[in-house]
């Protein structure tokens, strides 16, 4: 994310877009962050010898920008830059406040749109109609192009002249908070060929960092190119955390939507695994982990023992939103004899984790999602890169149908 931070600090931080009432003692918040970072397993594993000198040099560089109180968004960028020194995709800085309350009424919206904060929000200097024409002619494989974000936005992703950064520009908006020409996010391609985004929430203008997002099937995160309606990497009407089905070919299908360690999900898992002890009889099992964001190994790992006991051949499906413990589970599944991994490369966020309450900065404006769980060995090699499937599935037909075809051909 280094290039993105450089772009923000040279092209955005120097203008008045951060003008706002709220300021903070950013140096005090930085010192607190560094103290917390040094306790993280990821810091202890990675920041050694020369890396320590580099970490200290970055701290000195950032601290030099904090000789007086800073607008909270400017501080947010600087703090995030320090946190990003360690390759740990579970660790991030969160700004605790937006610049307008969610679901604000018309009067509040009107006042906000007359505020300095809104008027100085970054905007493109390009003619929108010309930009639409230009982006509509970009090839399908290009990251640049015209995208939809839900039903509210038509977005244009455009590469900045002479830079390796991109702007996400509002081309059309049905959201009363946003106007044509505003920049909703900035992005840069990272070392893994994915994209890091600095973006603003649609309803509160709260800035966030979203790191290491894949661009595949004309999709980057929640933004999809408007002419591509294929979404087979997702599951339609995905409402059940635990689901079991028998296919017409006799294969069995299990959906695991989350490995959350909540008490209710633990109870549901116990009931489900007990049920599977009786029902899991087929030799081939399709295990669907698409968009499973992870959770607790105490919820996921008992299934490894069950699958081994039942001697099933597992066909496990993942997408780019399969993350954290679900990725660890995928790696462990691949160690079982006969397992086939299909779909899309996973999120790449599995070497560390957190099970403690995140600390709040001295100013109260920021929460530091620092990590305290260490899975560095054996999972660090997948951090950032994700777990690559043995068989990549096409985006133009149903993934379960593709898997069944592969399964039958294997027979």
pLDDT digits (tens, 9 = 90+) for 314-354: 999 999 999 999 999 999 999 999 999 999 999 999 999 99
Model pLDDT for residues 54-101, shown as the tens digit of each residue? 999 999 999 999 999 999 999 999 999 999 999 999 999 999 999 999
- The yes-or-no verdict on residue 19 having pLDDT over 80 is no
Model pLDDT for residues 23-40, shown as the tens digit of each residue? 999 999 999 999 999 999
Q: How confident is residue 15, by pLDDT bands cut at 50, 70 and 90?
A: very low
Question: What order of strands is seen across the sheet that includes strand 313-318?
Answer: 242-246, 252-256, 284-288, 313-318, 340-343, 391-392
pLDDT of residue 229: 80
Model pLDDT for residues 270-290, shown as the tens digit of each residue? 999 999 999 999 899 999 999
Q: How far apart are CA 50 and CA 42, in angstroms?
A: 16
Q: What region does 117 belong to: left with phi over 0, alpha with psi -120 to 50, or beta?
A: alpha
Model pLDDT for residues 158-195, shown as the tens digit of each residue? 999 888 899 999 999 999 999 999 999 999 999 999 99
CA nearest 404: which of 290, 317, 279, 346? Answer: 317
* Cα within 13 Å of Cα(41), Cβ side: 15
Percent helix, strand, coil in the chain, to 5, is 35, 25, 45
In 3-state terms, what secondary structure has residue 395? coil
Higher pLDDT, 358 or 19: 358
Please state the φ and ψ torsions of residue 125, each to the nearest 5 degrees. Answer: -100, 10
| Domains defined along the chain, listed by start | 1-120+352-374 (no CATH), 121-230 (no CATH), 242-343+382-410 (3.90.226.10)
């Amino acid at each position: 994310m280094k290039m993105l931070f450089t772009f923000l600090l040279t092209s955005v931080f120097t203008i008045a877009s951060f003008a706002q009432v709220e300021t903070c003692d950013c140096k005090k918040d930085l010192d607190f962050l560094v103290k917390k970072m040094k306790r993280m397993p990821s810091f202890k594993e990675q920041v050694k010898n020369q890396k320590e000198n580099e970490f200290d040099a970055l701290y000195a560089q950032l601290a030099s920008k904090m000789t007086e109180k800073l607008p909270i968004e400017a501080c947010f960028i600087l703090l995030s830059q320090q946190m990003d020194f360690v390759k740990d995709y579970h660790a991030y800085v969160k700004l605790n406040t937006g610049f307008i309350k969610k679901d604000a009424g018309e009067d509040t919206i009107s006042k906000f749109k007359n505020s300095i904060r809104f008027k100085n929000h970054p905007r493109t200097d390009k003619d929108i109609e010309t930009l639409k024409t230009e982006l509509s002619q970009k090839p399908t494989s290009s990251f640049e192009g015209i995208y939809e974000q839900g039903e509210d936005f038509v977005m244009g992703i455009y590469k900045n002249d002479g830079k390796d950064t991109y702007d996400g520009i509002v081309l059309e908006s049905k959201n009363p908070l946003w106007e044509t020409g505003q920049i909703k996010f900035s992005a840069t391609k990272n070392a893994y060929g994915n994209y890091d985004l600095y973006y603003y929430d649609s309803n509160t203008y709260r800035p966030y960092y979203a790191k290491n997002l894949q661009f595949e099937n004309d999709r980057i995160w929640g933004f999809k190119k408007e002419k591509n309606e294929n979404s087979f990497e997702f599951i339609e009407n995905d409402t059940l955390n635990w689901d079991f089905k028998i296919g017409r070919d006799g294969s069995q299908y299990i959906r695991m939507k989350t490995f959350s360690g909540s008490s209710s999900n633990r109870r549901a898992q116990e009931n489900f695994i007990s049920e599977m002890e009786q029902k899991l009889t087929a030799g081939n099992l399709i295990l669907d982990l698409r968009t499973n964001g992870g959770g607790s190994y105490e919820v996921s790992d008992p299934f490894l023992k069950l699958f081994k006991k039942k001697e099933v051949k597992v066909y496990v499906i993942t997408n780019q939103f399969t993350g954290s413990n679900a990725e660890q589970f995928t790696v462990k599944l691949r160690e079982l004899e006969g397992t086939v991994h299909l779909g899309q490369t996973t999120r790449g966020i599995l070497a560390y984790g957190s099970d403690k309450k995140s600390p709040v900065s001295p100013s109260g404006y920021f929460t530091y999602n620092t990590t305290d769980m260490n899975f560095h060995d054996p999972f660090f090699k997948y951090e950032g890169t994700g777990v690559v499937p043995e068989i990549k599935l096409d985006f133009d037909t149903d993934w379960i149908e593709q898997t069944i075809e592969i399964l039958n051909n294997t027979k």
